[in-house]
A and B are shown apart, each in its own frame.
Chain A
Amino acid sequence: MTDASMQTPETGRRGTSLTATDERTRKRARAEKRFRLYGIIAIATGLFFLVVLFASILREGIPAFTRTVVSVEFTLTPEQREEAEGTLFKTKAYSDLFIAQLNKELAESGISVDFDEAAIERLLGKVGGTIRAFYTENPDRLGEPIEFDLAASSRVDGYFKGRVSRDTLQDSRFLQLSDLDLVDALKEAGIIKQAFNWPFITGADSGVDNPGGAGIGASVVGSFFMMLVVLVLSLPIGVAASIYLEEFAPQNKFTDLIEVNISNLAAVPSIVFGILGLAVFIQFMHLPQSAPLVGGLVLTLMTLPTIIISTRASLKAVPPSIRDAALGVGASKMQAVFHHVLPLAAPGILTGTIIGLAQALGETAPLLLIGMVGFVARGYPDGFLAGFTEPNSAMPAQIYTWAARADVGFYEKAWGGIIILLMFLLTMNIIAIILRRRFERRW
Chain B
Amino acid sequence: MGVITIKLFRETEMSFVKLSASALAIAAVSATTAAARDNVQVAGSSTVLPYASIVAELFGENTDFPTPVVESGGSSAGLKRFCEGVGENTIDVANASRAIREKEIKACAENGVTDIMEVRIGYDGIVFASQQSGPAFNAFEPSDIFNALGAKVLKDGEVVDNPYNTWAEFNADLPDVEIAGFIPGTKHGTREVFEEKVLLIGCEATGAMEAMIAGGMSEDDAEDACLNVRTDGKSVDIDGDYTETLARIDTNPNGIGVFGLAFYENNTDKLKVATMSGIAPSTETISTGEYPVSRPLFFYVKKAHIGVIPGLKEYAQFFTADEIAGPSSPLANYGLVADPELAKTQEAIANEVTMGSGS
Binding site for B on A (CB under 8 A): 87-92, 128-129, 132-133, 164, 168-170, 172-174, 206-210, 213, 229, 232-233, 235-236, 282-283, 285-290, 293, 338-340, 342-343, 346, 368, 371, 373-379, 385-386, 388-389, 391, 403-408, 439, 441
- Contact partner of B54 among A133, A208, A378, CB < 8 A? A208
Q: Are A172 and B33 in contact (CB under 8 A)?
A: no
A371/B334 contact (C-beta < 8 A), A164-B269, A208-B53 known: no
- Contact partner of B29 among A213, A286, A389, CB < 8 A? A389
Q: Are B8 and A236 in contact (CB under 8 A)?
A: no
Binding site for A on B (CB under 8 A): 1, 4-6, 8-9, 12-13, 16, 19-20, 22-23, 26, 29-30, 33-34, 37, 39, 41, 43, 49-50, 52-58, 60-62, 66-67, 69-73, 84, 87-89, 91, 240-243, 262-263, 265-269, 318, 321, 323-324, 330, 333-334
A170/B268 contact (C-beta < 8 A), A89-B321, A289-B69, A371-B71 known: yes
CB-CB under 8 A from A371, the residues of chain B are 41, 43, 69, 71
CB-CB under 8 A from B34, the residues of chain A are 285-288, 389
- Contact partner of B20 among A236, A373, A407, CB < 8 A? A236
CB-CB under 8 A from A285, the residues of chain B are 34
CB-CB under 8 A from A288, the residues of chain B are 33-34, 37, 89
What are 30 pairs between A and B in contact, CB < 8 Å?
A88-B318, A89-B58, A89-B323, A90-B62, A132-B62, A207-B53, A208-B50, A209-B50, A210-B54, A213-B57, A282-B89, A286-B88, A286-B89, A288-B89, A290-B71, A293-B30, A339-B5, A343-B4, A371-B41, A371-B43, A374-B43, A374-B72, A375-B57, A375-B71, A377-B56, A378-B39, A378-B67, A389-B29, A391-B69, A406-B50
- Contact partner of B49 among A174, A206, A374, A407, CB < 8 A? A374
Known: A282-B89, A404-B243. 6 other contacts (CB 8 A): A89-B62, A206-B57, A207-B58, A289-B41, A378-B39, A385-B33
Q: Are B58 and A173 in contact (CB under 8 A)?
A: no
Q: Are B30 and A287 in contact (CB under 8 A)?
A: yes
Q: Are A405 and B8 in contact (CB under 8 A)?
A: no
- Greatest chain A CB density within 10 A among B5, B41, B57, B263 is at B57
Roughly how many angstroms separate A343 CA and B4 CA in the complex, as a whole number? 9
CB-CB under 8 A from A92, the residues of chain B are 323, 330
CB-CB under 8 A from A282, the residues of chain B are 89
> How far apart are B270's CB and chain A's nearest CB, in angstroms?
9
A88/B321 contact (C-beta < 8 A), A208-B334, A289-B69, A389-B30 known: yes
Roughly how many angstroms separate A441 CA and B3 CA in the complex, as a whole number? 13
A232/B19 contact (C-beta < 8 A), A207-B58, A288-B33 known: yes
Roughly how many angstroms separate A235 CA and B15 CA in the complex, as a whole number? 11
> How far apart are B69's CB and chain A's nearest CB, in angstroms?
5
Q: Are A232 and B60 in contact (CB under 8 A)?
A: no
* Number of inter-chain CB pairs below 8 Å: 173
CB-CB under 8 A from A439, the residues of chain B are 8
Roughly how many angstroms separate A293 CA and B32 CA in the complex, as a whole number? 13
A406/B58 contact (C-beta < 8 A), A232-B26, A343-B8, A378-B66 known: no
Q: Are B12 and A343 in contact (CB under 8 A)?
A: yes
A173/B333 contact (C-beta < 8 A), A342-B9, A377-B67 known: yes
Roughly how many angstroms separate A232 CA and B20 CA in the complex, as a whole number? 7
CB-CB under 8 A from B262, the residues of chain A are 406
Q: Are B69 and A233 in contact (CB under 8 A)?
A: no
Q: Are B19 and A207 in contact (CB under 8 A)?
A: no
CB-CB under 8 A from A403, the residues of chain B are 243
Closest to B242 in A: A406
> How far apart are B74's CB and chain A's nearest CB, in angstroms?
12
CB-CB under 8 A from A206, the residues of chain B are 57
CB-CB under 8 A from B324, the residues of chain A are 89
Q: Are A385 and B54 in contact (CB under 8 A)?
A: no
CB-CB under 8 A from A343, the residues of chain B are 4-5, 8-9, 12
CB-CB under 8 A from A289, the residues of chain B are 37, 41, 69, 89, 91
CB-CB under 8 A from B53, the residues of chain A are 207-208, 375, 377
CB-CB under 8 A from B60, the residues of chain A are 377-378
Q: Are B323 and A207 in contact (CB under 8 A)?
A: no
CB-CB under 8 A from B19, the residues of chain A are 232, 235-236
Closest to B6 in A: A339
Roughly how many angstroms separate A232 CA and B18 CA in the complex, as a whole number? 9
> How far apart are A123's CB and chain B's nearest CB, in angstroms?
14
> How far apart are B337's CB and chain A's nearest CB, in angstroms?
14
Roughly how many angstroms separate A34 CA and B62 CA in the complex, as a whole number? 69
- Contact partner of A388 among B29, B52, B66, CB < 8 A? B29
Q: Are A168 and B269 in contact (CB under 8 A)?
A: yes
Q: Are A389 and B69 in contact (CB under 8 A)?
A: no
Q: Are A376 and B333 in contact (CB under 8 A)?
A: no
CB-CB under 8 A from A286, the residues of chain B are 34, 87-89
> How far apart are B35's CB and chain A's nearest CB, in angstroms?
8
- Contact partner of B26 among A169, A229, A441, CB < 8 A? A229
> How far apart are B280's CB and chain A's nearest CB, in angstroms?
14
> How far apart are B51's CB and chain A's nearest CB, in angstroms?
8
CB-CB under 8 A from B1, the residues of chain A are 441
Roughly how many angstroms separate A270 CA and B217 CA in the complex, as a whole number? 46
CB-CB under 8 A from B62, the residues of chain A are 88-91, 132
Q: Are A207 and B39 in contact (CB under 8 A)?
A: no
Roughly how many angstroms separate A6 CA and B314 CA in the complex, as a whole number? 95
CB-CB under 8 A from B88, the residues of chain A are 286
Roughly how many angstroms separate A172 CA and B335 CA in the complex, as a whole number? 12
Roughly how many angstroms separate A133 CA and B62 CA in the complex, as a whole number? 10
Q: Are A385 and B13 in contact (CB under 8 A)?
A: no
Roughly how many angstroms separate A206 CA and B55 CA in the complex, as a whole number? 10
- Contact partner of B50 among A133, A283, A340, A405, CB < 8 A? A405
The 8 closest A-B pairs by CB, nearest first: A374-B71, A207-B57, A375-B53, A89-B323, A207-B54, A406-B266, A375-B70, A208-B50
CB-CB under 8 A from A407, the residues of chain B are 266
Q: Are A232 and B23 in contact (CB under 8 A)?
A: yes
